[in-house]
Structure 1
């Protein structure tokens, strides 16, 4: 395989919502940010990204991500912005709006937990379906990167999406991939394509956003 493209991808989770504080499954419900609770995290994220220059920005089309993007103040007139449904949170179906205590005794919920999120949620998605739409988005990222020269990309998305991306790029366990609201990850990625046109993303490094105070420069 020949190296075709190198990309720095920064993926951040939206700020705090009321359902986050109540520990409700939000999924694809269009829940807005909660103020003033969300403000500290959003300001810290803004400070972390203030000097960043992105070639392209993608955001989940749900309101809480668009609000987070607006607070981050990174969108510029000459930077393409795409509202991307494929960056939505996992569809939690019948679990959306509910908390653990309302679900813990349901056999299908226990089976979903035991499957480490792999089973399809009643009325919702499976982890494989989430990965499938992320695969399609990553393929487009490679295509756009080659055509338009995108080298540094911001994605404003959801906790479940970042968890799946971490599982892919950092090869960590599902339960270890959690990121807090208004935080995220930075990946240095290499896209390689073989002679048959089949491509694959590989990660050369990963770090926290905002950077950890004790991180090595």
Structure 2
């Protein structure tokens, strides 16, 4: 998997999905569009942060982020005094011609029906396939681990997209891609061991999921 040798190490990553946007609210496909957080989305992140579910800002905190605005704004709410390392490999999947549309918009579209019938595996028309996206996301994880090795850090926060989380987690666990869907502001705390160029998932803990259920009541 890795293109460079990683030292033997154990690391902890807090992988968090960005706060909600207007497109997220209407369940539209949001990939390359550089949409900001909605007011509600920003408040949502503050709510989860005040519930104590995210690591606190500190001098040596290492933060990685997708370069998309919704991720950077989430970072600025949580960690305003810490500069993020941007990983373009962690941008959301390219939804192609489905970008900005939701189920109601696409209902009856033969291209959409073909994609549904494939189980979401084939490429979005004019966009990426799941396999391409997973490979790209895992290259981002490789860069993340390499940077942590260089900075001699054992933990980091990663602010990314819902699809990025599904790609990374399904690849690490061998589980189904859609088993790792999370809502905005949710994510996973994972412990990884790296040895002989192999990465092993040792521990997985959900982030902010109980709080989201309580807030939705």
TM-score of the superposed pair, with normalisation by structure 1: 0.84
Using the TM superposition, give the Cα deviation of residue 11 of structure 1 relative to its aligned residue in structure 2, in angstroms: 0.8
> Which residue in the other structure is 2:67 paired with?
61
The yes-or-no answer on 1:143 pairing with 2:178 is no
Q: Which residue does the alignment assign to 1:210?
A: 208
What's the RMSD between the two structures over aligned residues? 2.2
Are 1:19 and 2:23 an aligned pair? Answer: yes
What does residue 51 of structure 1 align with?
56
Aligned to 1:100: 103
The match for 1:71 among 66, 69, 77 is: 77
> In structure 2, the residue corresponding to 1:49 is in which secondary structure?
coil
Residue 171 of structure 1 and its aligned partner are, at CA, apart by 3.4
Tell me if structure 1 keeps the 8 A contact 2:18–2:159: yes
Q: Are the aligned partners of 2:12 and 2:190 in contact in 1 as well (CA < 8 Å)?
A: yes
Asked if the contact 1:93–1:123 (Cα under 8 Å) also holds between the matched residues in 2, the reply is yes
What SS class does the counterpart of residue 38 from structure 1 fall into?
A: helix
1:137-160 alpha-carbon deviations (Å, 9 max, x no partner): 222223223332121011111111
Question: Compared with structure 1, are the counterparts of its residues 157 and 75 closer, same or farther at alpha carbon in structure 2 (3 Å cutoff)?
Answer: farther
- Write the mapping of 1:62-211 to structure 2, written as runs, cut at 5 A: 62-73=68-79, 75-76=81-82, 81-193=84-196, 199-210=197-208
Normalised by the size of structure 2, how large is the TM-score? 0.84
1:196 is matched with which residue?
Answer: none
**Whole-Å Cα distance in 1 between the matches of residues 78 and 61 of structure 2?**
15
Cα distance in 2, alignment partners of residues 5 and 55 from structure 1: 18
- Gap runs ≥5 in structure 1: 194-198
Paired with 2:173 and 2:26, the residues of 1 have a C-alpha distance of 30
Name segments (4+ residues, structure 1) moved above 3 Å. Answer: 50-55
What is the CA–CA distance in structure 1 between the aligned matches of 2:9 and 2:117, rounded to whole Å? 38
| Higher helix residue share | 2
